[in-house]
Amino acid sequence: MRLHQMYIVAAAALLLGAGCKKALNPSSVQLTGSAKGLQSGLPNFPMSSPGARLVSFDLATGTGMSYILAYDCNNSTTPMVYNIKGTSMPSYTFTINGSPYYGFTAATNNYTEFGGTHITAFDMNSTGHLDHLLMYEPGTGEVQVLEHSSTGTPGDWNVIWDSHGGGIGGYDLHGTTDKIIAYDFGSGYMSSVICYRPGNGYCWVILNEPTSTANPNWVAVDFGSSGIGGFDLKGVNDQIVPLFDEAGWMDLVCYRPGYGYVWYLEHPPYYDYFEADWTSRSGIPGILDFSQVQDRMVPWSGNNLYYGNYLLCYRPGNGGTVKSVYFTYNGVYVGPTTGPSWVSNSGFLTYPMQYNGQSGPSYIGDKIISFDGSGMGQSSMACYAGGANQVALIEEGPVFSWSDAY
């Protein structure tokens, strides 16, 4: 146990609401003037399919997590890769092993992302860059590691490891609710992963141990079926989010939307245990009570600081609620407090936040991911609703101000 107490500082609050051929050359779209704000899609990628998903990654080009992969689990739209660079956004067709990829699988629920093809970025070679992609299909055991082609465009990738349905590091990936997140177990690099199964309690921490080959070497170091750090993972909508603390160590925030449960779990580097430093059954005071099933949080670099040291908490639907929180351990209770805020029933800046993800059969819901669009840390937000033809790219400015910057 660290010799401190974990407290909450709500560091920014910014919105309260009511409720194919291989592309050898990129297309470049200028994102100035009328291109700012709400759009019906990204260049060459309309947000018309409920299966649309976005994921950010880093190709070690000096611009951080400035790349976004847009793909459609329903395969109705050609997947694209974008490099957000100030006022321009070059786009590239996403290919695997030399061909545009259309092998994604559909989800049973597009908002909760049960089943379907998932992709997450991780730092396979411990370079300090999340420049490899882990592509997996919950319920099937299928996992692949993708590496960017050194001779291709940012959209060109190759499969360098395939589980052939055998899961990863002993974790079978046979649950349709399974999720995998990248994690820094103590090495200083997000080269490890955490696999968990909401509703069943399974949670495995799997390291990517050094090896003489170019392939990952998955070794499970902490595993079980009773949750993690006292959080039982028995809720089918349970989520786990990685978060760096002030010392640069990576901890976890576990939460159960619809019930208000939020657990902050500390993890000393290389220790095989996680311990709850702060727990709540009524959400995060002054931020969001997490009483609705669609409530979510995403790590981001608040105030242009470290990667993922803040959490953006949001509630999709009816204009939305978006607020930011920062966990600190300075030993003095100083929160929660909020920064500049305003009340609106019309969304996050130009993004309307209209879809709560709870209506079938398509389960269209607002989602937010963070990325680095300015070279100032992972402080930009991509807000989107696949199937509703809505997307907006938003940048954080000084003192937690926001603008439609792209």
Domain boundaries, the chain: 7-403
Selection from 109, 143, 131 nearest residue 61 by Cα: 131
pLDDT at position 88, please?
78
The residues facing 218 across adjacent strands are 208
pLDDT at 377: 82
Longest CA–CA span in the chain (Å) reads 59
What pTM was estimated for this model as a whole? 0.90
109's CB contacts (< 8 A; 6+ apart) are 115, 363
What's the rounded Cα separation, in Å, for the pair 133 and 123? 9
3-state helix, strand, coil in the chain (%, to 5): 0, 40, 55
90 to 27, 75, 85, 372: CA distances (angstroms): 5, 22, 8, 15
What Cα–Cα distance (Å) separates residue 330 from each residue in 217, 245, 251, 284?
Answer: 38, 11, 16, 18
What is residue 17's predicted lDDT score, i.e. its pLDDT? 35
What is the per-residue pLDDT for 308? 63
- Going by C-beta distance under 8 Å and a sequence separation of 6 or more, which residues neighbour residue 390? 38, 39, 40, 47, 351, 352, 354, 383, 384
Sequence-separated (6 or more) residues with CB below 8 Å from residue 32 = 87
Query: CA 374, CA 304: separation in Å to the nearest integer?
Result: 10
Nearest alpha-carbon partner for 27 in 92, 80, 94: 92
Q: Strands, DSSP E only, in 281-399?
A: 296-300, 310-315, 321-328, 367-371, 380-385, 390-396
User: How confident is the model at residue 298, as a pLDDT?
Assistant: 93
- How many whole angstroms separate alpha carbon 53 and alpha carbon 44? 14
Q: pLDDT per position in the chain (406 positions), as tens? A: 443 344 444 433 333 333 333 333 444 343 433 457 899 999 999 999 999 999 999 999 888 999 999 999 999 999 999 998 766 789 999 999 999 999 999 999 999 999 999 999 999 999 999 999 999 999 999 999 999 999 999 999 999 999 999 999 999 999 999 999 999 999 999 999 999 999 999 999 999 998 777 789 999 999 999 999 999 999 999 999 998 887 788 999 999 999 999 999 988 888 888 999 889 999 988 888 999 999 999 998 865 555 567 888 899 998 888 887 777 654 333 233 343 343 355 688 899 999 999 988 899 999 999 999 877 788 899 999 999 999 999 988 766 678 887 7
Per-residue pLDDT at 310 = 83
192 forms beta bridges with 183
Q: CB count, 10 Å around CB of 116?
A: 20
CB atoms within 10 A of CB 35: 15
* Rounded distance between C-alpha atoms, residue 356 and residue 359, angstroms: 8
Take residue 46 and report the two structure tokens written for it: 């309309």
The DSSP H or E segment spanning 205 is: strand 202-208
CATH superfamily of 7-403: Fucose-specific lectin (2.120.10.70)
Q: Which string of DSSP letters, residue by residue, matches 164-199?
A: TT--BTTB----TT-EEEEE-SSSSS--EEEEEETT
Q: Containing H/E element for 42? A: strand 41-42
